[in-house]
Structure 1
Amino acid sequence: MITKITGAALVMDEIVRDSDLYLKDGKVLVVTRNELPFDELVDAQGCFLSPGFVDLHTHGGGGHDFMDGGVEPILEGCRTHLRHGTTTILPTTLASAIPALKRSILDIGAAMEAKGDYPHIAGTHLEGPYFSQNQSGAQDPRYIKAPKPKEYEEILEMGEGIVKRWSYAPELPGAEAFCEALMRRNVIPSIAHSDGVYADVKSAYDRGCRLVTHLYSGMSTITRRRGFRSLGVVESSFLLDNIIVETIADGMHLPPELLLMIYKIKGPDRICLVTDSMRGAGMPDGPSILGRKEDGMACVIEDGVAFLPDHSAFAGSIATADRLVRTFVKAGVGLCDAVKMASATPAKVLGLKKGRIEPEYDADLVLFDKDINVKGVFLNGRYLNF
């Protein structure tokens, strides 16, 4: 089956407007001006066509949390994000009781096998519970603790093939052994909710950690200890060139000038745009819950973001991936780089052949207008028109 896409402005390393894109058997075949045989024609009508967005960090959407229990809430939350251009997704958990965490891992594993119009579920991202209490943010402090080898080894064993990455604080007792355990099992370690200093970040880096979760959110910056200044996680992430950082580019967590500073320092090859969305993504303002319905934390959605009830901290975002790209473009970053941070860079983190319009790459694509409103997606080369 060969699909020809004509009339698109292709978002590659530059915008390509004078060529057609051919897909074959779920892969990109070629970008060419030449006429080739085809079985199906899709007219993009002048819209932009980019690689599908890859979200490494999302807790839910469409009124569903990925820890609610069962497969259906996971699939419905994923479907919400698909309508906004996310074609690959990493459902994310929160710090919780260990039995609840294990159930969620198994539910996500079952969802990975589902067939239908859903984003590719590449595994799960465990956010916690091994965090700093001082940087807990909206994470439930009842469940935050230091790593316990018996506990995490058991989780890694039962979650093999499902757990793709695990966010943790590297300054905690036992964190070095924990990072090494993740590396042995090919699970991506990521620094998060941390009160660490440069030595802690460098220790994790030396053990293979190359990712920082939602830069600036729930992490230390420069502090003075007995009068001496120490770099926090933020500055350490800038200093170590090979560290890739997540940014929640919803226009609320980080102001445009801070997004531009991160972009200037790290560049598009070292930034992953993430939603960090909770169940409120795609939902109206009002009361909501962060985490499982049965015992999650109450929050409220107001003016495009989720807050804890006392407004002391954000409770995740209600963003979708198209909004992330739109925010960076409005801040002054070119469309090609903004899309790269939402597709190629996170795909590289996951080791997937996605995120680029190049031969042999997966034909997961998103079609959007000049205002980055999504019109449709291609999943494995199959067109879904919204």
Structure 2
Amino acid sequence: MRTLWTNAALYLPDGRREQGRLLVDETGRIEAAGGAELTASGPVRQIDAEGLTMLPGFVDVHMHGGNGYNVMDARYESLDGISRFHAAHGTTAFLATTNTSTGERIREALRCAAAAVERGVGGAELAGIHLEGPFLDVVRRGAQRKEDVRPPTPEEIDQFLEAGGGHIRLVTLAPELPGGLEAVRRFRGRGVTVSAGHSDATYAQMEAAVEAGVTHTTHHFNGMRPLHHREPGLAGAGLLLSELTTELIADGIHVHPAVVRLLFAVKSPGRVCMITDAVGCCGLPDGDYGHVRMTGGQVYLKDGETLAGSSLTMLQALRNVLAFTGLPLEAVLPSLTSVPARQVGLDGRKGTLEAGKDADFLLVDDELRLVATYVRGREVYRREEPAAE
């Protein structure tokens, strides 16, 4: 049966509706969205969301794990666990993001993720794959193992594309590597968005990369040549080249709050793509987890110096950006919804609350605490209310 949600403060592409209504059809797609004037003919189930705010669901295009699960586990159970954990923190669609490793281990993770895309998972929708590496610059490899970083070859690219089964939507590579620009063109020819990351590229090299088809940067300011007044590097290119959309980890650790404010001011929210870069220990207590240590929510290699992902969630990222920038909610929302969806080719069905799109939405209270998460009209998370005394 169709469902009509009423009385929510509803965030639509053209603004906020105080007495918003959302009509969802039997397939989990949005039939109509609007204000109090929206009516539904025929049989319909009504749900009153008075006192709550309805937001479009968050799309995380760069996430490695959570709640003890990792994409590189190459197990369906891990991907399902990741999807359920992040659905409880506002994510309604995500890309399973691989790590740099041996070719066979990466291909195993790609095959597992591709199968899970087709099978479906129980929480946030697994909407595709992000191949992060192994084609990275050893100088900017971050927490990636030096032994596993390598230049691209057409043969290995094709092996990864085959293992991904047509579900790789985003790849991170260093375009300045030998064969880097050819790799950009090869991935673009298969419909994959190419992001420059873990890269020591100069500004001129990034101009060439953009000409070859790069449209995205990976966790901007991190894992790249920094901005310098004599050599702007990848960091400067991301700020200045209009073709580039910049990922951002807004945990206040990877990027200083003032620089978060700077990025939004220079690029505008329409060219900032919020991500978590969450790893397996996200959501767990502080402690040692394999080769990383989490202390106070900060995740480092055990050398204590190299950041190794984050424990951030998308909902907390939203709260942080609001606090760091002073921007209103409606200005920041696209960076977590329509921008990531656009960047990886999901904007035909994700990212906004509009007719014809999937009914992916969040119900939050006045303090932006999550009440419930819906994916394709199906409730995949609801906050437990304290028992009455």
Counterpart of 2:371?
375
Q: Give secondary structure in 2 for the equivalent of 1:18.
A: strand
Q: Distance in 1 between matches of 2:71 and 2:94?
A: 12
Counterpart of 1:256?
257
TM-score of the superposition, structure 2-length normalised?
0.92
For 2:79, the aligned partner's letter is I
Q: Distance in 2 between matches of 1:262 and 1:233?
A: 14
The Cα offsets for residues 311-367 of structure 1, whole Å up to 9 and x where unpaired, read as 212110011110111111112121112221100111111222211112212111111
Counterpart of 1:245?
246
Counterpart of 1:293?
none
For 2:83, the aligned partner's letter is C
1:216-295 equivalences in 2 (<5 Å): 216-223=221-228, 229-289=230-290
For 1:361, the aligned partner's letter is K
Counterpart of 2:218?
213
For 1:371, the aligned partner's letter is E
Residues 207 and 201 (structure 1), Cα distance of their counterparts in 2 relative to 1, 3 Å cut = same
Residues 77 and 203 (structure 1), Cα distance of their counterparts in 2 relative to 1, 3 Å cut = same
Per the TM alignment, residue 270 of structure 1 is displaced from its structure 2 partner at its CA by 0.5
Counterpart of 1:126?
131
For 1:82, the aligned partner's letter is A
For 1:304, the aligned partner's letter is G
Q: Distance in 2 between matches of 1:6 and 1:301?
A: 42
Counterpart of 1:8?
8
1:310 pairs with 299, 303, 310, which one? 303
Q: Give secondary structure in 2 for the equivalent of 1:154.
A: helix
Counterpart of 1:175?
180
For 2:7, the aligned partner's letter is G
For 1:340, the aligned partner's letter is P
CA contact (8 A) 2:108 2:163 kept: no
Q: Distance in 2 between matches of 1:333 and 1:140?
A: 38
Counterpart of 2:35?
32
1:65-104 equivalences in 2 (<5 Å): 65-104=70-109
Residues 116 and 183 (structure 1), Cα distance of their counterparts in 2 relative to 1, 3 Å cut = closer
Per the TM alignment, residue 233 of structure 1 is displaced from its structure 2 partner at its CA by 0.2
CA contact (8 A) 1:133 1:141 kept: yes
CA contact (8 A) 2:7 2:18 kept: yes
Per the TM alignment, residue 20 of structure 1 is displaced from its structure 2 partner at its CA by 1.8
Per the TM alignment, residue 223 of structure 1 is displaced from its structure 2 partner at its CA by 4.8
Percent identical pairs in the alignment equals 32
1:362 pairs with 333, 358, 366, which one? 358
Counterpart of 1:347?
341
Q: Kindly report the root-mean-square deviation, in angstroms, between the aligned alpha carbons of the 2 structures.
A: 1.5
Q: Distance in 2 between matches of 1:251 and 1:48?
A: 26
The Cα offsets for residues 101-147 of structure 1, whole Å up to 9 and x where unpaired, read as 00000010111123453222111101111111111111111101111
Residues 62 and 185 (structure 1), Cα distance of their counterparts in 2 relative to 1, 3 Å cut = same
CA contact (8 A) 1:326 1:371 kept: no
Per the TM alignment, residue 198 of structure 1 is displaced from its structure 2 partner at its CA by 1.1
Q: Distance in 2 between matches of 1:315 and 1:263?
A: 24
Per the TM alignment, residue 172 of structure 1 is displaced from its structure 2 partner at its CA by 0.6
Q: Distance in 1 between matches of 2:125 and 2:56?
A: 13
Per the TM alignment, residue 26 of structure 1 is displaced from its structure 2 partner at its CA by 1.6
Per the TM alignment, residue 39 of structure 1 is displaced from its structure 2 partner at its CA by 2.5
CA contact (8 A) 1:60 1:281 kept: yes
Per the TM alignment, residue 149 of structure 1 is displaced from its structure 2 partner at its CA by 2.0
Does structure 1 residue 156 correspond to structure 2 residue 152? no
For 1:48, the aligned partner's letter is T
CA contact (8 A) 2:83 2:122 kept: no
For 1:221, the aligned partner's letter is P
1:315-326 equivalences in 2 (<5 Å): 315-326=308-319
Instruction: Please list every run of 5 or more consecutive structure 2 residues that lacks an aligned counterpart in the other structure.
Output: 384-389
Q: Distance in 1 between matches of 2:306 and 2:120?
A: 37
CA contact (8 A) 1:167 1:191 kept: yes
Q: Distance in 2 between matches of 1:19 and 1:248?
A: 31
For 2:303, the aligned partner's letter is D
Task: Name whichever of 233-242 and 156-165 sits farther off.
Answer: 156-165
For 1:335, the aligned partner's letter is L
Q: Distance in 2 between matches of 1:160 and 1:115?
A: 15
For 2:296, the aligned partner's letter is D
1:130-145 equivalences in 2 (<5 Å): 130-145=135-150
CA contact (8 A) 1:93 1:125 kept: yes
For 2:295, the aligned partner's letter is E
Count of residue correspondences: 374
For 1:69, the aligned partner's letter is A
